[in-house]
Structure 1
Amino acid sequence: MDHQWNLNQYITYILLTLVFLSSWTDINGMYAELPQVILTQPESWKLGANLALITNFGNISPLILVLIKCLCRKHTLNPVPINYIVILIGMLSCFLLIFLWSYTTVIANVRRSTALLTLALFLSLLDCTSSVSFADYIHRFRKEFTSAFFLGESLTFTIPSLLAIAQGNGRIRCVQAINGTNTTEAIYEPPRFSVSIYFLCLFILLTISFISFVLFTMDIYCSKCKSNRTGRIIGNNEYN
């Protein structure tokens, strides 16, 4: 490895970070937005527990990949199409959240946030899959680019959290009750922008990740930064 990087290597590192930014941005963004979402949803503060239960079902997707590997030992799973599926469905889910995050239906005589929880299930399945497929994809690059994988994933909660802080969600001010008693009431202040705009920002982040990944598959910037190693995390055979 040369100690001095050229411009192409810096661009590759930045684009790789942007690609891996799509791994958990959507789910982490939903948790960061909970203080604002619970104000209008019927589950109120129970929504966080329901969301945690739903998202944990996503852990089944890496297990499915392992089973496929065991059943298809003579074949391998190319991470490129898997990554395309992960990012594209993540983009679609965030796009649907812009319009459907507050949609509720009555199930067993109880009103529930069906759209939000259903899309959270899809996103959790995709994000858990991305932890495997992205780790396999980074093996195509030289070892000095491995840290871009961890940097991208570390930003998946930092950026949504900064968006939530900029939005001002969960801000409370206490006012004295006007009924003559010595009590105060908690008043939630309106956010600087709506929940729909917040999910639009997440959609834009995933779109940037998708564009970065397209550039990599076209080998515009990264052809000289790839390693001679081949991925072996998903499957036993080598792929180019």
Structure 2
Amino acid sequence: MSSRWAQTTCFTLIVIMNLSAWIDIQGIMVELPLIIPLMPEGWALPSAITICMTAASIAPVLVLILRWRQGKRFSEIPYIYAIIIVGIVSCCMLAFFWQRTAFVFGNQRSVWLLGGIFTLSTVDCTSSLIFFDYMKRFRASYLTAVFLGEGLTGLIPTLLVLAQGMGSEEVCIQAVNGTGLVPIYTQPRFSVRVFIFCIGGILTVSLLAFVLLRWSNLVSLADAANPIYVE
């Protein structure tokens, strides 16, 4: 493999790895128009989601404290594995159980959905800190790949939604008795479950990209390693 191809491949793998930063939460947010009508909270659900995401923002602070206590013994590698794997598992759980509710505080609540969103928000908030820490191992020119990957976390779910079609578009057809028109609402091309599985699949590809960066000789072939970094 030539050095140029190795550099391009290494850059691409970093982009793919960083897709796992926010793509799961971004995916859930763009899918809300299909989720909200089926949940007991109705249009109060976005407020509950916001509370979950805000509560999850404490995770980076905990990582900073842990890093301060461990000092030079701290390594971001196990955390990257954990972030991506937890994201994959959470997406799989959400795909099967997002519609399940439980009776809490006198009402049915979307505990599975909110619990999954809280978990995904926790790892996503942490990823912004951990992934940048990982990039100290690479030359500065590869930092652009991080921003590109995180930028695509908004674009890719949007393209998936466009492919899915939101449904609920009103189409008028002739009534059976021929006396008038009745509205028929269109359905999306694929379900919320399939959409979440697609997001989980992207996270799996991100995990494979990180494994290749860690365990192949691609980084050395591309001469991408930071020469002043000492592991």
1:40–1:102 Cα contact (<8 Å) kept: yes
Amino acid at match of 2:42: S
Amino acid at match of 2:80: N
1:24–1:156 Cα contact (<8 Å) kept: yes
Structure 1 gap segments, 5+ residues each: 179-183, 231-238
Once residues 25 and 185 of structure 1 are traced to their aligned partners in structure 2, the CA distance between those partners, rounded to angstroms, is 39
2:171–2:186 Cα contact (<8 Å) kept: no
1:103–1:114 Cα contact (<8 Å) kept: yes
1:139–1:229 Cα contact (<8 Å) kept: no
Residue among 57, 60, 66 paired with 1:59: 57
Alignment-derived partner of residue 178 in structure 2: none
Alignment-derived partner of residue 110 in structure 1: 107
Amino acid at match of 1:82: Y
Give the superposition deviation at 1:189: 2.1
Once residues 93 and 82 of structure 2 are traced to their aligned partners in structure 1, the CA distance between those partners, rounded to angstroms, is 16
Once residues 185 and 226 of structure 1 are traced to their aligned partners in structure 2, the CA distance between those partners, rounded to angstroms, is 64
Structure 2 gap segments, 5+ residues each: 176-180
Q: Residue 153 in 1 paired to residue 178 in 2? A: no
Closer/same/farther in 2, CA of residues 215 and 169 from structure 1, 3 Å limit: same
Give the superposition deviation at 1:173: 1.9
Give the superposition deviation at 1:170: 4.9
Once residues 75 and 188 of structure 1 are traced to their aligned partners in structure 2, the CA distance between those partners, rounded to angstroms, is 59
Once residues 139 and 26 of structure 1 are traced to their aligned partners in structure 2, the CA distance between those partners, rounded to angstroms, is 25
Alignment-derived partner of residue 88 in structure 2: 91
Amino acid at match of 1:116: L
Q: C-alpha offsets along residues 72-127 of structure 1, whole Å, 9 cap, x if unaligned?
A: 4x434211111000000000000111101111111122111110100111111100
Closer/same/farther in 2, CA of residues 171 and 78 from structure 1, 3 Å limit: same
Alignment-derived partner of residue 207 in structure 2: 210
1:35–1:170 Cα contact (<8 Å) kept: no
Give the superposition deviation at 1:225: 1.2
1:24–1:127 Cα contact (<8 Å) kept: yes
Once residues 61 and 188 of structure 1 are traced to their aligned partners in structure 2, the CA distance between those partners, rounded to angstroms, is 42
Alignment-derived partner of residue 35 in structure 1: 33
Once residues 45 and 175 of structure 1 are traced to their aligned partners in structure 2, the CA distance between those partners, rounded to angstroms, is 26
- Identical counterparts, % of pairs: 34
In the TM superposition, what are the counterparts of 1:121-200 in structure 2 within 5 Å?
A: 121-173=118-170, 188-200=185-197
Alignment-derived partner of residue 13 in structure 1: 11
Residue among 21, 24, 28 paired with 2:22: 24
Once residues 128 and 188 of structure 1 are traced to their aligned partners in structure 2, the CA distance between those partners, rounded to angstroms, is 37
Once residues 220 and 155 of structure 1 are traced to their aligned partners in structure 2, the CA distance between those partners, rounded to angstroms, is 26
Once residues 103 and 187 of structure 1 are traced to their aligned partners in structure 2, the CA distance between those partners, rounded to angstroms, is 27
The TM-score with structure 1 as length reference comes to 0.86
Number of residue equivalences: 222
Residue aligned with 1:193, SS = coil
Q: C-alpha offsets along residues 119-152 of structure 1, whole Å, 9 cap, x if unaligned?
A: 1111111001100000011111111111000000
Once residues 144 and 127 of structure 1 are traced to their aligned partners in structure 2, the CA distance between those partners, rounded to angstroms, is 24
Give the superposition deviation at 1:175: 5.4
1:138–1:146 Cα contact (<8 Å) kept: yes
The TM-score with structure 2 as length reference comes to 0.89
RMSD between aligned alpha carbons?
2.1
Alignment-derived partner of residue 236 in structure 1: none
